[in-house]
Every structure is written in structure tokens, then in C-alpha cells.
Amino acid sequence: MSFTKRLIIHLGELQRNPPPLCYAAPKDFDHDITHWTGYIDGPEDTPYAGGRFHLSIYFSDTFPFKAPE
């Protein structure tokens, strides 16, 4: 299975069952599925409550054997 197909499968799983306080998706699905953007919301009752922490995620062609950056 190519890594782009795997990324599409993971995206579908995230859309069907989104994790709490998190979001991630390709920045431009039609042109580059390897660059994702996302965020993590700070959990309540922590010093991070009310914060939103943005991410840029890059997947190499060795995914899933090499973690994204």
C-alpha cells in the first residue's frame, strides 16, 4: 500500500472518530496530502486551558515506518 493511500485511510478514520480536543487534516488535499495542519486545544483545569496550539505536520514517503515531523 502506498503511503498516500495510508494517509487517506488515516484521514477517514480521524473524520469518522475525531479525538477530543484535536484536529488534523491535509492543508491542501488536492495538491499535497503530505503536509497537514492541525491544532490541540488545552484541556480544562490545566494551565493550558483556553489555549489552542497549532501544528504543521509533514509526512515523508517512509511513513508509517518513520514518524511524521
In a domain, 65, yes or no: no
Domain assignment present for 27: yes
24 Cβ neighbours under 8 A, 6+ residues apart: 14, 36, 37, 38, 55, 57
Q: What is the per-residue pLDDT across 3-51, written as a single tens digit (0 to 9) for each? A: 889 999 999 999 999 999 999 999 998 999 999 999 999 999 999 999 9
Looking at residue 1, its pLDDT comes to 57
pLDDT at residue 2 above 90?
A: no
Which CATH number characterizes residue 26's domain?
3.10.110.10
Q: Total domain count for the chain? A: 1
The answer to whether the predicted template modeling score (pTM) of the entire model surpasses 0.75 is yes
Is residue 9 one of the residues assigned to a domain? yes
Give the DSSP H or E segment for 5: helix 3-16
Question: For position 46, what pLDDT does the model report?
Answer: 96
Range of the domain at 16: 3-58
